[in-house]
A and B are shown apart, each in its own frame.
Chain A
Amino acid sequence: MSDQVEPADAARALSEIGRRREQVIRRKVFPGWFWWAQAVLTVALTAAIESQRGVLIGIGITLFAAGSLVINVPVSRAARAAPPHRSLASQPGSARKTLLGLATFMVVLLGVALATGLSLGAAGVPYPGTIAAAVASVVFAVGGPMGVRAEQAMLVRRAGSQG
């Protein structure tokens, strides 16, 4: 039967296989609103803590915990619906690059928050922690989706180079 298959047909089939693999890797797991919702929760928690009022801190922590759980439900559901096969996710070096990228992102967020908060605090601006959290949260909400896309692009490149 394979002798009856035209090379062009075989190439089309291989292209389709590559396209489906890429489709799995690039499948959207994080909805666009997820990043902003997490950012809002973080700012609200920081504002509650910075208020230094016990009741507000309690409410802030409760809201943050409950809100984080709620917004993570659709994400974990989407992630479980069609997770990339381990052969795609565990290519040599990909885990290290992912962890490195994640750690870099965390350091940038922390750096932005600390630099902003300390600068504002030194300048006597009220609520420096909340403002710093807001700035870092915007970086998180903008940079998060970019990081996910970069990770997907890396996996697609590696999967493609393996044929």
Chain B
Amino acid sequence: MITPRFDELIHAPTRLSLVAFLAATGWADFAVLRDSVGLSDSALSKQLTTLEHAGYVEIRKAFVGKRPRTSARLTADGRTAFDRHVLALQEIVARAGGSVVPSSRSSDKAME
């Protein structure tokens, strides 16, 4: 049973986007993360390092041929922290009497 716990580290807007994307994937390539979340290389590196130091993200560096390839994924701790954070957010919204189901934007062209 997961208990709600608001996580300040995850809640920062950029990291929330990043962690939410990672929560929906397994390993994600650096380039995909950068383009999907809309960050520069350096900004993404900085955020990933912060999350890695917190134990939320695991970073893998490999070579495909001669090209370096960096990937990241949430650790088990990161996934648990994210799930608890989502529950905390849902609790806040529920306390205010609103819907806890986030609206989905099915026609977001930026996602393509």
Contact = CB atoms under 8 A, between A and B. Distances in A.
B105 to A, nearest CB: 6
Contact of B24 (A1, A11, A85): A85
Given A7-B92, A10-B89, A13-B89, A18 B112 contact: no
Nearest to B106: A156
B16 A13 contact: yes
A17 B91 CA distance: 15
Interface residues of A, number: 34
A19 B93 CA distance: 17
B28 A82 contact: yes
A70 interface: no
Interface in B12-26: 13, 16-17, 20-21, 23-26
Nearest to B82: A17
A150 to B, nearest CB: 13
B62 to A, nearest CB: 12
A24 B17 CA distance: 12
A122 interface: no
A23 B90 CA distance: 21
A158 to B, nearest CB: 11
A133 to B, nearest CB: 31
B25 A85 contact: yes
B70 to A, nearest CB: 12
A28 interface: yes
A70 B104 CA distance: 36
B104 A156 contact: yes
B93 A10 contact: yes
Interface string A73-112: 0000000011111101000000000000000000000000
Most B C-beta atoms less than 10 A away, residue of A10, A16, A161: A10
Contacts of A161: 101
B86 to A, nearest CB: 6
A82 B34 CA distance: 12
Nearest to A23: B111
A43 interface: no
A13 B11 contact: yes
A146 to B, nearest CB: 15
Most A C-beta atoms less than 10 A away, residue of B13, B25, B26, B29: B25
Contact of A14 (B23, B24, B93): B93
Interface of B: 6, 8, 11, 13, 16-17, 20-21, 23-29, 31-33, 36-37, 86, 88-93, 95-96, 98-106, 108, 111-112
5 pairs of A and B residues whose beta carbons are closest in the complex? A7-B96, A2-B6, A18-B102, A20-B20, A24-B24
